[in-house]
Chains A and B, each alone.
Chain A
Amino acid sequence: KNQVEQSPQSLIILEGKNCTLQCNYTVSPFSNLRWYKQDTGRGPVSLTIMTFSENTKSNGRYTATLDADTKQSSLHITASQLSDSASYICVVTDRGSTLGRLYFGRGTQLTVWP
């Protein structure tokens, strides 16, 4: 069964600190993995995309890693800001159908305190 598991479920950190969010998946065949940021009451917005051949991708203070062999990804946030408070969702796309089916994790709820 294709699944996406994220940890931790929630995380509280102080402003300026770093944190790492984890994503494990069983989706196969694999096409890509995206990390989305979802602010409360809004739709998800893509932060990074990782394809099979990519190990690391950065977008400002966000750095995503992918280990396609172990089917694990992480999202590292450096020097956190209050505006980073949001839900971070790992989304894996398969390439086994014309739909390009999206599989969503439950998300990690990050809260940054001043």
Chain B
Amino acid sequence: EADIYQTPRYLVIGTGKKITLECSQTMGHDKMYWYQQDPGMELHLIHYSYGVNSTEKGDLSSESTVSRIRTEHFPLTLESARPSHTSQYLCASSAHTGVHTEAFFGQGTRLTVV
């Protein structure tokens, strides 16, 4: 099993609240990613990081922000949660090993904003 952890697994929160989804990996991977996935739909990249102090927005526009102060930690923050933010959020990390690059995924955080 991959050493990448997300907390919380489930979160129900009211509109307007600030939330932070945690993601940590112990594999020393430089690259980390946040994906958003609605039920039955594909994963959409919303943020990624090449390494410490490097963050970029992904394909899907998101009101969330991320930070990468330490290699192992890549938290995602929503300053003011809205019902449209209800989704599953998956964190992943990878070490670029040429043609055998593999992304390891966390268990996901299912967010419900009411």
Whether A46 and B102, one on each chain, are in contact in the complex, defined by CB atoms closer than 8 angstroms, is yes
- What number of A-B contacts does a CB cutoff of 8 Å give? 56
Whether B108 and A105, one on each chain, are in contact in the complex, defined by CB atoms closer than 8 angstroms, is no
Whether B41 and A106, one on each chain, are in contact in the complex, defined by CB atoms closer than 8 angstroms, is yes
Which residue of chain A lies nearest to B97 when distances are taken between CB atoms in the complex? A100
Min CB distance, A98 to chain B, in Å? 7
Binary CB contact string for chain B from 29 to 49 against chain A (1 if under 8 A, 0 otherwise)? 001010000001111010010
Give every chain A residue within 8 A of B107 (Cβ-Cβ): 41-43
Whether B99 and A43, one on each chain, are in contact in the complex, defined by CB atoms closer than 8 angstroms, is no
Instruction: Tell me the bound Cα distance from A52 to B99 in angstroms.
Output: 9
Binary CB contact string for chain A from 86 to 114 against chain B (1 if under 8 A, 0 otherwise)? 00010101010011101011110100000
Whether A32 and B42, one on each chain, are in contact in the complex, defined by CB atoms closer than 8 angstroms, is no
Contacts A32-B99, A43-B107, A98-B96 given: A105-B90 contact, CB under 8 Å? Answer: no
Contacts A32-B100, A106-B42 given: A45-B105 contact, CB under 8 Å? Answer: yes
Query: Is there a chain A Cβ closer than 8 Å to B19's Cβ?
Result: no
Which residue of chain A lies nearest to B4 when distances are taken between CB atoms in the complex? A43
User: Which B residues are closer than 8 A to A by beta carbons?
Assistant: 2, 4, 6, 31, 33, 40-43, 45, 48, 50, 90, 92, 94, 96, 99-103, 105-108, 110
User: Which A residues are closer than 8 A to B by beta carbons?
Assistant: 31-32, 34, 41-46, 49, 51-52, 89, 91, 93, 95, 98-100, 102, 104-107, 109
